[in-house]
Amino acid sequence: MDFIRNMAIIFIRVFQFTLFARAIMSWFPMSNNAIVSFLYNVTEPLLSPVRKLLFKIPALQRIPIDFSIIAVFLLLDILRILVITS
């Protein structure tokens, strides 16, 4: 059981690092880069539903900042804490 727990924690941390890398890479205009394409392809399936949910909040519709990365990062951190404590 510890192996599964450790692998889940590692997976969550790697995904959080991927989210962080995507956020940093979004500051630089590199549209044809393989690394950027990989980051977008890996993270977009999780970010897209969260982005749609956040867009339903009227106050966030007028702000030109994508909070979905922050929300997913925090949700993954909560999930990691739950895995650690179980």
1 is written with which tokens?
A: 């059981």
For tokens 């692998």, what's the residue?
7
pLDDT in tens, 35-71: 888 999 999 999 999 999 999 998 888 888 889 999 9
The answer to whether the CB of 12 falls within 8 A of the CB of 80 is: yes
The answer to whether the CB of 46 falls within 8 A of the CB of 73 is: no
pTM score, two decimals? 0.85
77 pLDDT band, cuts 50/70/90, is very high
